[in-house]
């Protein structure tokens, strides 16, 4: 299930539609019928499914791309290399 875009994201989409000549209103982040109609016209001209829904393909065509939260940093445990003295001790041990 897709997340509902934030007001800032709606504003960003309206701005992109306006820059391309599809949205004549003031980008305010309120997604109403004017925004949906603008998106449908854009989708039709881009040969996308003309459904007025903000999908990944429409966002990419607008130059925005889907917005995702950054993945959490992963940490990897790294074992320290043995010291020179530890290596010498291992070499001095008799083989079994």
pLDDT of residue 65: 77
pLDDT of residue 87: 62
Q: Tell me the pLDDT tens digit for each residue of 26-40.
A: 999 999 999 999 999
Asked if the structure places residue 31 within a domain, the reply is yes
Residue among 14, 63, 39 nearest 6 (CA):
14
Q: For the chain, list residues with pLDDT below 70.
A: 1-2, 66-96
Q: What is the pTM of this model?
A: 0.66
Asked if the structure places residue 84 within a domain, the reply is no
In whole angstroms, give the CA distance from residue 43 to residue 54: 10
Residue with structure tokens 């299930």? 1
Distance of CA 62 to the CA centre of its chain: 14
Asked if the structure places residue 75 within a domain, the reply is no
The structural domain count of the chain equals: 1
Asked if the structure places residue 91 within a domain, the reply is no
pLDDT of residue 58: 95
Residue 19's domain comprises: 7-61
pLDDT of residue 28: 96
């Amino acid at each position: 299930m897709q997340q509902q875009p934030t007001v800032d994201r709606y504003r960003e989409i309206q701005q992109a539609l306006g820059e391309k000549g599809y949205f004549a209103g003031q980008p305010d982040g309120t997604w109403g019928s004017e925004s949906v109609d603008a998106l449908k016209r854009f989708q039709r001209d881009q040969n996308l499914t003309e459904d007025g829904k903000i999908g990944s393909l429409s966002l990419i065509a607008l130059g925005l791309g889907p917005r995702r939260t950054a993945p959490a940093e992963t940490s990897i445990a790294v074992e320290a290399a043995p010291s020179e003295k530890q290596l010498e001790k291992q070499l001095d041990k008799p083989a079994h």
